[in-house]
């Protein structure tokens, strides 16, 4: 039976450069501090390493220790855990967003738009399809960082999802784009949009202000946090979403096209 509410927790954290053990231990402590109900807990992009272009030495397989850690955390905290990792598969490297359920089942989305400005396209293989997962009757489209700049990829054709969820390592110097585009995606797709980003600095000299955010289907800001680590649970309301789409049926007038 579908639930009228979705409890979505965002963990905005610092990430120690390419130090998997320290990062996973830190996330374990943050997860232990979570209070109240939660259906989904979201970690940033490449949460175990930072946005590194060294998958040749750092990537893991789907049976690697970071995936095992995600399974353990999801089971321990009785939640779905999501975030992206470097994954090696069939001789290719992917910036892969994992969706790990408490029962150990995993879905994934491979980042479609690789950030050529930082050389990501030279090390990773782009994904070829979108992934929409479900929990308690909610449909959630998984996206990673740079995907945010490409509205066609996120287009809510026929209202096929209820939530857009972005995980990111989005630098502070472009945070106006981050905040503006998250809000725009909510307005144009009549959906909830959540984006979880990191804070701190990486070894490449990039600073991160976080600005993790949740927006409602009218573009209203539900939550945003800048400049510090934070753990926040937002409660999304299905009845409100349906009321917005019914009273303002803009999606019915959208241009028709197929996403392959």
Query: What is the per-residue pLDDT across 165-185, written as a single tens digit (0 to 9) for each?
Result: 999 999 999 999 999 999 999
In the chain, the number of structural domains is 1
CA distance 246 to 243: 5
| pTM given for the model | 0.97
Look up 45 and say whether it is catalytic. yes
Tokens in use for 67?
Answer: 């995936």
Look up 225 and say whether it is catalytic. no
CA distance 42 to 77: 13
Look up 145 and say whether it is catalytic. yes
Asked if the structure places residue 45 within a domain, the reply is yes
Q: Which of 20, 45, 79, 179 is catalytic?
A: 45
Which CATH number is 125's domain given?
3.60.110.10
Select, from the ranges 1-5, 31-35, 116-120, 154-158, the one with the highest average predicted confidence (pLDDT).
116-120
Give the model's pLDDT for residue 2: 52
User: Region 156-165: what's the mean pLDDT?
Assistant: 96
Contact 8, 216 (CB under 8 A): no
Specify the residue for token string 């054709």: 157
Q: Which of 79, 120, 145, 179 is catalytic?
A: 145
């Amino acid at each position: 039976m579908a639930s009228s509410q979705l409890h979505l927790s965002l963990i905005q954290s610092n990430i120690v450069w390419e130090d998997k053990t320290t990062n996973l231990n830190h996330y374990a402590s943050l997860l232990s501090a979570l209070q109240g109900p939660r259906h989904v807990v979201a970690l940033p992009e490449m949460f175990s390493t930072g946005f590194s272009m060294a998958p040749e030495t750092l990537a893991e397989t789907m049976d690697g220790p970071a995936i095992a850690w995600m399974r353990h955390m999801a089971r321990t905290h009785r939640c779905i855990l999501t975030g992206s990792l470097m994954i090696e598969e069939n001789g290719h490297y992917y910036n892969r967003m994992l969706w790990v359920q408490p029962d150990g089942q995993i879905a994934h989305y491979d980042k479609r738009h690789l950030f050529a400005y930082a050389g990501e396209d030279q090390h990773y293989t782009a994904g070829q399809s979108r992934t929409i997962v479900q929990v308690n009757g909610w449909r959630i489209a998984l996206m990673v960082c740079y995907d945010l700049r490409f509205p066609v990829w996120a287009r809510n054709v026929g209202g096929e999802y209820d939530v857009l969820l972005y995980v990111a390592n989005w630098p502070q110097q472009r945070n106006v784009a981050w905040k503006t585009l998250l809000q725009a995606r909510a307005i144009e797709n009549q959906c909830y949009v959540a984006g979880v980003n990191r804070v701190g600095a990486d070894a490449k000299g990039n600073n991160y202000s976080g600005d993790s955010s949740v927006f409602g289907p009218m573009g209203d800001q539900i939550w945003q946090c800048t400049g510090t680590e934070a753990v926040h649970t937002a409660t999304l309301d299905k009845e409100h979403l349906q009321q917005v789409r019914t009273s303002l049926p803009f999606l019915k007038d959208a241009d028709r096209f197929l996403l392959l």
